[in-house]
């Protein structure tokens, strides 16, 4: 699942190559194609791209979207299979919304209401939560406790309780466990393996922070809101 660190540079090079190639072919196919050599055509196209650099940015974004879509499709089972009970909605939902989250992330807390609204309105939607603790040791301890809750079939009550406590401090964690009946399991190797898998998944799709959502073949970064998530779900159904 590892990705080369040069992914962005390759995308830029690829985007520029496509623009040069397509524009060059179009130019050569015109009425003066026979009178122009390749170097002159490339020079004209280069000057045009320098004058309109947004075309390269747009092409790069398109290429990255296509590359990410391929990576998601190749790893869909890994992405959409929950750990224990860390999911909600339709067990056989026609669209799966996956959220990479951190209990210390305020934007994740903000997004919870949007996800709940979608679940309430859309009976064909499945939501899968994946632990991605990136905000320190409290986040890591919370993620491990959350995986224990998921393993014990109590993920949603624990999830709601811990987010309701505010920051996932040790006292908040203990209170959430106590209120939901989750037994402390400690730092189990299987929990660390799940978290490491999610770190790699985040790298795979180019996630830059929490929350990150995966819907169909799309990646949405940050607290994008109800409407953006709803539209992504609709697009996934159309594809």
All structural domains of the chain with their residue ranges: 7-73, 78-238
Q: Residue 149 phi/psi, 5° resolution?
A: -60, -40
Please give the backbone phi and psi of residue 187, each rounded to the nearest 5 degrees, phi first: -85, 85
CATH number (1.20.120.1460, 3.20.20.150, 1.10.3720.10, 3.40.30.10) of 78-238 reads 3.40.30.10
Per-residue pLDDT tens listing for the chain (239 residues): 433 333 443 444 444 454 445 444 444 445 545 455 777 777 777 777 677 776 656 666 666 667 777 888 888 999 999 999 999 999 999 999 999 999 999 999 999 999 999 999 999 999 999 999 999 999 999 999 999 999 999 999 999 999 999 999 999 999 999 999 999 887 799 999 999 999 999 999 999 999 999 999 999 999 999 999 999 999 999 98
Provide the whole-model pTM: 0.75
CA 47, 62, 207 angle in degrees (round to 5)? 125
């Amino acid at each position: 699942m590892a990705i080369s660190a040069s992914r962005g540079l390759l995308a830029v090079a690829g985007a520029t190559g496509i623009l040069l190639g397509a524009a060059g072919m179009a130019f050569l196919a015109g009425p003066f194609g026979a009178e122009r050599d390749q170097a002159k055509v490339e020079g004209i196209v280069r000057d045009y791209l320098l004058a309109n650099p947004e075309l390269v940015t747009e092409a790069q974004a398109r290429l990255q979207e296509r590359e990410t879509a391929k990576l998601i499709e190749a790893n869909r089972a890994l992405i959409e299979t929950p750990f224990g009970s860390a999911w909600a909605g339709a067990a056989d939902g026609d669209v799966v919304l996956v959220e990479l989250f951190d209990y210390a992330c305020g934007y994740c807390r903000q997004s919870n209401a949007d996800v709940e609204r979608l679940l309430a309105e859309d009976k064909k939607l499945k939501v899968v939560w994946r632990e991605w603790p990136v905000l320190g040791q409290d986040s890591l301890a919370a993620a491990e406790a959350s995986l224990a809750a998921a393993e014990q079939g109590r993920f949603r009550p624990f999830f709601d309780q811990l987010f309701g406590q505010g920051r996932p401090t040790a006292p908040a964690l203990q209170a959430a466990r106590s209120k939901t009946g989750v037994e402390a399991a400690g730092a189990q190797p299987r929990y660390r393996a799940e978290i490491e898998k999610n770190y790699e998944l985040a790298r795979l799709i180019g996630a830059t922070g929490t929350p990150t959502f995966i819907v169909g073949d799309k990646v949405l970064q940050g607290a994008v809101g109800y409407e953006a998530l709803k539209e992504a779900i609709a697009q996934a159904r159309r594809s």
